[in-house]
Every structure is written in structure tokens, then in C-alpha cells.
């Protein structure tokens, strides 16, 4: 009876023979995720800003975004086949719908958390509503906004592995191929890069979130210039 090779040995051998395919699929995975999150930011940040100006609509819009979170991923992908067909367009649309909630909610919450006294002071200085938004509210809301994008990005990278179920690209092709052929090394060849991508994106956006945090900025300025009583 032939001795079964260890899983790690099989995995290393498979990666060594197919590393170019893994790299190509990783590139597709990154592209799909970035496009989906990019569209989400372009659409949902202005929508979150609009909701701070129209409080009555906020529960309905945020509630609708929350509904999409409750729909199973494969069911949503299957439903969208009737709209977009199979391929990456379907996957990007589904990922956009899943990523909406954290971006809308954090934009809305971040701007509403800016103290009203700051807004009143800016208005007293003669700033327009647009200037108050861009120079006061958005800069102060950036840590909360980036936190929402961070959550959306990690969710998107993980969920994008299902894109191959409807003919899309990405690392999900390896995972589904491994499942269909009952080869764990192929599953790992797709799952491990997807996990590393999600962790890397989370680390990058966590650093951005900390960079925009007012307390962290104060610490950096104090370290660079010294406490206020030492500045002459």
C-alpha cells in the first residue's frame, strides 16, 4: 500500500508547480476586491453624508443596507445572475451590496459625533456648509470612516472567494477546485493567500486609522516638537 504524503509536503509541491497561476489568481482577487470597495466608498460616503442632512431617511437606508447582510452570499450571487449574468460583474455587485453597511454607518456616525460646538464655531467664522464639511467634520470623522472601510475591505476579501461559484475569478477558483477534487493542498493554496490578503489589508487600514486618530496625532506632535510649554 502506498504511503500517503503529508499535507504540508503536498501543499509545497503544488505551490512550487503552480505558483504563477496562484499569483495570477491573487491579482484577480485583489482587483475584484479593490473595485468593489472603491465603488462602495464612492457611493456610500456621500450617501452617509446625505443622511446626516436628512435624519428621517437614515433608519430606512441603513436598514436596507443591513438587509443585504442577512442574505446568504451564494443566494445573492445566484439571484444577481439574472441581472448581470455570470462573471466578475456579478461578483463585484454582490460585494458592493455586502460592503455598504459599515461604510454608510461609520460615515453617518463619524460626522454626527463631531461636537456641535465645533460646527457652530466654524459657522461663526463665516465658513459655508461645504467648508465646514471638508475642513471640520470630515477630518474629525476620518478615524471612524476609515474603520468602516477597514471592516468592508476585510469582509470583501473574504467573501470574494465565492466569486468563482458564478464564473468569476480570484482565489476561490483554487478553493472550489480543491473541494471538487477532494485535494486539501489545492484548497490551502487558495485559502492561505486569501487569508494573508485580508490580514495585510486590515494591518494597512489599521495604521491609517491610527494615523488619523486625534489623540495619536497629538502624541506624534508632542514627540516631534515637545510639550506646548517648551515651544518658544
In a domain, 1, yes or no: no
Mean pLDDT of the chain: 88
Q: Give the whole-number percent of the chain exceeding pLDDT 70.
A: 91
Residue carrying C-alpha cell 484577480: 28
Ordered DSSP codes for 39-67: HHHHHHHHHHHHHHH-GGGHHHHHHHHHH
Q: Are 18 and 189 in contact (CB under 8 A)?
A: yes
Question: Structurally, how many domains does the chain consist of?
Answer: 1
Alpha carbon distances (Å) from 177 to 49, 130, 184, 189: 43, 51, 10, 10
CB distance 171 to 194 below 8 Å: yes
Look at residue 58 and tell me if it is in a domain.
yes
- Cell for 79? 439571484
CA distances from 26 to 108, 156, 171, 196, 231 (A): 33, 14, 6, 11, 50
Q: Which domain holds residue 27?
A: 7-230
Residue predicted with more confidence, 5 or 118 = 118
100 within some domain: yes
**Neighbouring C-alpha atoms within 13 Å toward the C-beta of 203:** 6
Predicted confidence (pLDDT) at residue 98 exceeds the cutoff of 80:
yes
Structural domain contains residue 2: no
Give a yes or no: residue 20 inside a domain.
yes
pLDDT bin (cut points 50, 70, 90) of residue 220 is low
Q: Is 206 a domain residue?
A: yes
Task: Give the other-Cβ count within 10 Å of 7's Cβ.
Answer: 12
DSSP state of 135: I
- Residue 58: C-alpha distances to residues 47, 65, 97 (Å): 10, 11, 17
Q: What's the confidence (pLDDT) of residue 63?
A: 93
Asked whether the predicted pLDDT for residue 226 surpasses 70, the reply is no
> Structure pTM?
0.86
Question: What CATH number should be reported for the domain holding residue 114?
Answer: 1.10.3720.10
Mean pLDDT, residues 75-87: 82
Point out the least confidently predicted range of 20-34, 86-100, 182-196.
86-100
Task: Reply yes or no on whether the pLDDT at 215 is more than 90.
Answer: no
Under the banding of pLDDT at 50, 70 and 90, the label for residue 33 is very high
pLDDT of 232: 46
Residue 18 lies in a domain: yes
Domain for residue 171, yes or no? yes
Q: Residue 137: pLDDT above 70? A: yes
pLDDT over 60 (residue 221): no
What value does the mean pLDDT take over residues 4-31? Answer: 90
| pLDDT exceeds 60 at position 211 | yes
At residue 231, the pLDDT reads: 47
- Overall size of the chain counted in residues: 232
Amino acid at each position: 500500500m502506498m504511503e500517503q504524503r503529508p499535507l504540508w509536503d503536498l501543499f509545497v509541491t503544488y505551490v512550487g508547480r503552480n505558483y504563477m497561476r496562484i499569483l495570477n489568481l491573487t491579482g484577480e482577487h485583489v482587483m475584484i476586491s479593490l473595485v468593489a470597495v472603491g465603488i462602495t466608498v464612492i457611493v456610500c460616503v456621500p450617501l452617509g453624508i446625505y443622511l446626516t442632512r436628512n435624519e428621517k431617511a437614515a433608519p430606512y437606508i441603513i436598514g436596507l443596507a443591513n438587509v443585504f447582510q442577512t442574505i446568504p452570499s451564494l443566494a445573492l450571487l445566484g439571484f444577481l445572475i439574472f441581472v448581470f449574468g455570470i462573471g466578475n460583474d456579478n461578483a463585484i455587485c454582490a460585494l458592493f451590496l455586502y460592503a455598504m453597511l459599515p461604510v454608510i454607518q461609520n460615515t453617518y456616525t463619524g460626522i454626527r459625533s463631531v461636537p456641535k460646538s465645533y460646527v457652530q464655531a466654524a459657522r461663526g467664522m463665516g465658513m459655508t456648509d461645504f467648508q465646514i464639511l471638508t475642513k471640520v467634520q470630515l477630518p474629525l470623522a476620518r478615524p471612524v470612516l476609515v474603520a468602516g472601510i477597514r471592516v468592508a475591505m476585510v469582509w470583501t476579501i473574504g467573501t470574494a472567494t465565492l466569486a468563482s461559484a458564478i464564473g468569476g475569478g480570484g482565489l476561490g477558483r483554487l478553493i472550489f477546485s480543491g473541494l471538487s477534487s477532494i485535494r486539501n493542498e489545492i484548497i490551502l493554496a487558495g485559502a492561505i493567500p486569501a487569508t494573508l490578503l485580508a490580514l495585510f489589508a486590515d494591518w494597512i487600514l489599521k495604521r491609517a486609522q491610527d494615523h488619523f486618530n486625534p489623540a495619536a496625532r497629538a502624541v506624534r506632535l508632542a514627540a516631534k516638537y515637545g510639550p506646548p510649554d517648551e515651544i518658544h
